[in-house]
């Protein structure tokens, strides 16, 4: 993977460097793919000991976003579907992997998986449609 990034929107709950409550993940992207690694912290669990399902989707959403970003696009989620395959536990090392599935005009088809970083087992998978928008429209110039 030729790497681009990491990009940070500063306040993002997942990758924002300036968000005190956020995960502060660093996604790397290039060659139509992205990757970030993280160890699940107890403070992000829903049921004690298990990562909140909404945060699992947030990790996958960012992985998909970064796959498009690695190709030079800024996008917004238009649709996302997630399938939870196994519980994600507190203290577990995970890898969020995104990839470009295709593109038609401004619409990007993206996919992502959350995997156990040690075994490679798929814990959750997502697919989504993202709409490309000019960075100026998002107020994201100079955010890197």
Strand partners, 131: 76, 107
**Count: domains in the chain:** 1
Q: Which helix (H) or strand (E) holds 58?
A: helix 53-69
> Is residue 5 one of the residues assigned to a domain?
no
User: Which residue range(s) make up the domain with 124?
Assistant: 28-138
Nearest CA-CA partner of 7 in 36, 37, 41, 40 = 36
Identify whether 39 is part of a domain. Answer: yes
| Residue 117 per-residue DSSP state | T
pLDDT above 80 for 142:
no
Would residue 119 count as lying in a domain? Answer: yes
Within 10 angstroms of residue 81's Cβ, the number of other Cβ atoms is 12
Residue 12, domain member (yes or no):
no
Q: Is residue 75 part of a domain?
A: yes
Residue 65 lies in a domain: yes
Residue 33 lies in a domain: yes
Place of tokens 């959750």: 124
- What is the distance between the alpha carbons of residues 63 and 125, in angstroms, rounded to a whole number? 11
Query: The CATH number of the domain where 54 resides is what?
Result: 3.10.129.10
Of 103, 57, 118, 51, the C-alpha closest to 82 is: 57
Cβ count within 10 A of residue 44: 19
2 pLDDT above the threshold of 60? no
List pLDDT tens digits, range 17-61: 888 998 989 889 999 999 999 999 999 999 999 999 999 999 999
| Domain-located, residue 64 | yes
- Note the pLDDT tens digit of each residue in 58-110: 999 999 999 999 999 999 999 999 999 999 999 999 999 999 999 999 999 99
């Amino acid at each position: 993977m030729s790497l681009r990034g990491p990009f940070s929107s500063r306040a993002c709950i997942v990758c924002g460097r300036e968000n005190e409550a956020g995960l502060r993940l660093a996604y790397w992207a290039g060659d139509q793919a992205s990757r970030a690694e993280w160890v699940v912290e107890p403070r992000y669990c829903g049921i004690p000991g298990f990562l909140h399902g909404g945060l699992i989707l947030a990790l996958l959403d960012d992985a998909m976003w970064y796959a498009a970003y690695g190709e030079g696009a800024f996008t917004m989620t238009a649709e996302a579907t997630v399938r939870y395959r196994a519980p994600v536990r507190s203290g577990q090392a995970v890898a969020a992997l995104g990839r470009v599935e295709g593109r038609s005009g401004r619409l990007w088809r993206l996919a992502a998986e959350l995997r156990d970083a040690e075994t490679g087992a798929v814990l959750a998978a997502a697919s989504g449609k993202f709409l490309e928008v000019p960075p100026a429209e998002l107020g994201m110039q100079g955010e890197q």
